[in-house]
Structures are given as C-alpha cells and as structure tokens.
C-alpha cells in the first residue's frame, strides 16, 4: 500500500471505531488477549526467528534483550490487556459542566484524537500495548515497529486484524506496517489524515521525526532521573529507594542516574556507596564524595547529564533542597525525580520547584510507570509539556470537544441587522 492509502484507510477506520461501543472495543482487546494465549508457540517462534537474524547481524546485546518476546513477556501482555479491557471507557464522558449566566449550558466531552502513528524500535510488546490503548480510546493506530522485529510484529498485526474482524470492526483500525525510511517520511507528511505521531526510541529517531513531521509529535526523550536524599531523610528508607531506583531495571528511562545527597549527611554517605558496591553498581562521585570514599572514580561534568541505562551511578553532595533543585533543573531531563525526606516543608519546596513530569516523595522512581499507576499499560512516558506529560495511557490519547446547549440563544439583536447597519 502507498502511504496515502495507509493513512486514508486509517482515517476511515478511525471514523468507524469512534462510533463503536465501549463493549465492541473491549471485545477486540479481549479477543487479542485470548489469541496471545492460544497462539503463544507461534508468536515465540516468530520472535526467535527475528532474534536469530538480529544476532547473526551482530545487533548489540541490549537491543537483543529488548527484542525478546518469550512466554513470560507474552503472559505479562495478556495481564495488561485484561487490565486495559477492565478500565472505564475514556471517551464520551462529559466534564467541567457549567451553566452560564445567560442560560447556556457548557460542557466538555472526551473524544478520540483520530489516527495515531507510532514509530518505535525493537520491543514487540509495544505492538500489543499501543494497539490496545489506541483502540480503548477509540482511535485507529498505524504501528511501525523496527525491521529487526518484523516477523513477530507482522504476526501480532494479523492477530489484531482477526480480533477486529471478529467484532465486525475494520482490520485497518490497527495497521502494522513495515515500509522503508522513505515511506515513513511520506507518512509524516500526512497531516491531513494522521492526528498524532509518537516516536519511541533513541534521541536520533525522535529528532528526525520531529524535524521532518508536519503532524504534531509527542516526544519521549531519555530520562536523566535523580533521587535527592535530604538532610531530614530517614536514611534506611533513602538507601532502599536509591537501590530500587538504580538496580531494579537499570535499562529503563525512569531508572535513577544521579544520587544527590545533602552534605550534612557525610557520615551516612559511605553506607550508600557500600550498598551500591554490594549490588555491582559502579559509583562515580564529585570531589566532596571522593573525600569520603577516595576509591571511587571521579565524576566529570558530562556524567551529570548522562543517561547510563546501566549499573553506574553518579553521586553529588549538595548544600540543601535549593541546591538539589537547581542541579536537577539544569542537568536533568525533566522526566522523573524523587526526594527522600521526613520534612514537609522541604518536600513541598522540591515538589513545587522541580520542573519534571513526575515528582516523587519518599518513593522509588520505578513508580513512574503506567501499569503501577493503574493505566493497565503505557504507550510511553512523555517528556513534552504539551497535551500529555509523563506516563501516557488511554486517557492521554483523547481530546475533547466543547458542547454548548441553548434555547435559541443569539448574541446580537437580529432585528438590528440590516443592509445599512451591516459591518462592511
């Protein structure tokens, strides 16, 4: 199919899906979860063929990790789909209803965005999550995964098609496309039919999409995330939060990269370093930290703005909350940052001043996650401020319309309109 036909079919499907009932849309998601369960061996086989080819082509290990879609990962997706199916319908709901002094009723009604184009690398689970979240919110989806995952993605696309057809909805409501880079560039010009582009992947991919697209883009840049241990922190809690934020999944965007510690806690700082050493995390420190632990590597300026995505942490001693906030706002990526403190005033100052999508108090940065936050899954974590910020679920894939109800309301006096009184 040419790109114009793909986007046109997506538009037509979005009109039909926008008029489908919540029960119909949920039935498709249920059908997909049943198919994932029933056809697991086939999916695993397709994925293994992708993985084998990627290995032969010398793909780096971390990409192979992301490409893998074995039984455990499939089971996790089945659980996610069941959660998404059970969520309340994100569209059709009215809110912010008001009655104006002139008698007009005004309300906002949640509506789908239309056609959502998602461009992503590796991870086949995005093909499941993105399809489900777009459909839950009554949008149609065009999903363009990485070529390294093509066999698995094509099969998942076929399963979406079967699940849609079973309910009588067009299979084009979720289109899995491959297509060359030139074709993607063409798709990014289809601003008449595609309503939103979400690129997920490396910085280069996101920048290339943002620069060449005429369609609005929501960007998911990297996370340079911090935990700040305040003077008034419970140190035991702080150590657990720092370890969880760093070690549970060092490869995800909301993993901590820099630990900031109030300099008054110098007696406690070696405990953090010991724990990181125990867990196999390489520690790099500022000068003050190295005075306390001379064995660790020196952090250089570049460290403070690096997303390691690995078992490495940089530690900096700061004077107070204000110093911590300034560091985070200067070096961080406005993604996810946490404070550990028992002092409400310090917590409030941090929460107010840190300019990030997600700000946590006495909790691990791991909780910046759509599934933990009750979204069933997330389509990504937006680092933009416009439209959606932080974890994006089905509700973040909606817009609204303003509905105004009157009883013959007019603003001027129609009897006063005449040839003579007319404006021009």
Strands 115-120 and 140-144: parallel
Nearer to a second copy, 202 or 405 (CB): 405
From 196, 253, 262, 313, residue interacting with a second copy (rule: CB under 8 A): 196
Min CB(269)–a second copy separation in Å: 18
Nearer to a second copy, 53 or 240 (CB): 240
Nearer to a second copy, 111 or 156 (CB): 111
Is residue 193 within the footprint of a second copy (CB under 8 A)?
no
Min CB(343)–a second copy separation in Å: 13
CA separation, residue 339 to residues 125, 171, 271 (Å)? 32, 47, 18
Find the farthest-apart pair of alpha carbons in the chain and give their distance in angstroms, rounded.
Answer: 89
Measure the CA–CA gap between 251 and 61, rounded to whole angstroms.
12
Interface with a second copy in residues 265-294 (CB under 8 A): 278-281
Nearer to a second copy, 57 or 407 (CB): 407
Residue 217 DSSP class: B
How many residues in the shown chain lie near a second copy by CB under 8 A? 85
Element (H, E) at 200: strand 196-200
From 389, 392, 393, 394, residue interacting with a second copy (rule: CB under 8 A): 389
Interface with a second copy in residues 103-142 (CB under 8 A): 104, 106, 109, 111, 113-114
The first and second tokens of residue 207, run together, are 């920048």
- The 3-state DSSP class for residue 420 equals coil
Interface with a second copy in residues 70-109 (CB under 8 A): 98, 100, 102, 104, 106, 109
**CB-facing half-sphere around the CA of 59: CA atoms within 13 A:** 20
> Binding string, 346-385, against a second copy, x = CB under 8 A?
-----xxx-xxxxxxxxxx-xxx---xxx---------xx
Min CB(44)–a second copy separation in Å: 22
From 150, 250, 292, 293, residue interacting with a second copy (rule: CB under 8 A): 250
Q: Which residues contact 242 (CB under 8 A, 6 or more apart)?
A: 227, 229, 256, 259, 272, 275, 276, 340
Nearer to a second copy, 62 or 71 (CB): 62
Measure the CA–CA gap between 62 and 138, rounded to whole angstroms.
34
Min CB(230)–a second copy separation in Å: 13
From 8, 305, 311, 343, residue interacting with a second copy (rule: CB under 8 A): 311
Is residue 410 within the footprint of a second copy (CB under 8 A)?
yes
Q: Which residues contact 202 (CB under 8 A, 6 or more apart)?
A: 121
Crossing angle of helices 150-166 and 125-136, in 10° steps, is: 30
The count of residues in the chain is 424
- Virtual CA dihedral for 205, 211, 217, 218, nearest 10 degrees? 50
Min CB(363)–a second copy separation in Å: 3
In this structure, are residues 24 and 32 in contact, taking their beta carbons and an 8 Å threshold? no
Interface with a second copy in residues 17-36 (CB under 8 A): 19
Measure the CA–CA gap between 355 and 201, rounded to whole angstroms.
23
Measure the CA–CA gap between 378 and 130, rounded to whole angstroms.
8
Nearer to a second copy, 30 or 237 (CB): 237
Min CB(166)–a second copy separation in Å: 25
Min CB(319)–a second copy separation in Å: 19
Nearer to a second copy, 293 or 363 (CB): 363
Min CB(378)–a second copy separation in Å: 12
Interface with a second copy in residues 210-249 (CB under 8 A): 210-211, 214, 216-218, 234, 236-237, 239-241, 243-244, 247-249
Min CB(162)–a second copy separation in Å: 29
In this structure, are residues 143 and 157 in contact, taking their beta carbons and an 8 Å threshold? yes
Is residue 60 within the footprint of a second copy (CB under 8 A)?
no
Min CB(288)–a second copy separation in Å: 25
The first and second tokens of residue 347, run together, are 């917590």
């Amino acid at each position: 199919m040419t790109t114009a036909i793909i986007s046109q079919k997506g538009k037509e499907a979005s009109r039909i899906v926008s008029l489908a009932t919540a029960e119909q849309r949920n039935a498709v998601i249920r059908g997909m979860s049943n198919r994932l369960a029933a056809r697991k061996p086939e999916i695993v086989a397709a994925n293994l063929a992708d993985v084998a080819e990627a290995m032969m082509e010398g793909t780096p290990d971390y990409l192979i990790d992301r490409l893998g879609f074995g039984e455990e990962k499939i089971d996790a997706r089945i659980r996610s789909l069941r959660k998404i199916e059970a969520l309340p319908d994100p569209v059709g709901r009215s809110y912010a209803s008001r009655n104006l002094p002139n008698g007009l009723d005004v309300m906002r009604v949640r509506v789908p965005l239309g056609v959502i184009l998602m461009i992503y690398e590796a991870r086949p689970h995005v093909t499941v999550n993105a399809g489900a979240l777009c459909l839950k919110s009554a949008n149609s989806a065009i999903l363009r995964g990485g070529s390294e995952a093509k066999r698995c993605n094509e099969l998942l696309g076929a399963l979406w098609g079967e699940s849609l057809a079973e309910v009588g909805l067009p299979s084009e409501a979720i289109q899995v496309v491959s297509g060359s880079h030139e074709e993607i560039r063409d798709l990014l010009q289809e601003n008449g039919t595609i309503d939103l582009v979400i690129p997920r992947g490396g910085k280069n991919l996101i920048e290339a999409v943002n620069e060449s697209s005429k369609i609005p883009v929501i960007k998911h840049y990297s996370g340079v995330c911090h935990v700040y241990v305040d003077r008034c922190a419970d140190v035991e809690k702080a150590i657990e939060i720092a370890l969880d934020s760093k070690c549970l999944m060092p490869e995800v965007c909301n993993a901590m990269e820099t630990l900031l510690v109030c300099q008054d806690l110098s007696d406690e700082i070696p405990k953090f370093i010991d724990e990181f050493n125990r867990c196999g995390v390489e520690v790099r420190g500022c000068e003050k930290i190295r005075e306390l632990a001379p064995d660790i590597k020196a952090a250089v300026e570049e460290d403070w703005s690096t997303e390691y995505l690995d078992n490495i942490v940089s530690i900096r001693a700061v004077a107070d909350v204000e110093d911590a906030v300034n560091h985070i706002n200067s070096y961080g990526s406005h993604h996810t940052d946490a404070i550990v403190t028992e002092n409400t005033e310090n917590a409030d100052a941090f929460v107010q001043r840190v300019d990030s999508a997600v700000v946590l108090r006495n909790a691990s940065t791991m909780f910046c996650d759509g599934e933990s936050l009750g979204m069933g899954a997330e389509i990504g974590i937006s680092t933009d401020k416009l439209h959606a910020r932080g974890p994006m679920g089905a509700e973040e894939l909606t817009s609204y319309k303003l509905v105004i109800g009157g009883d013959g309301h007019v603003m001027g006096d129609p009897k006063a309109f005449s040839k003579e009184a007319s404006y021009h």
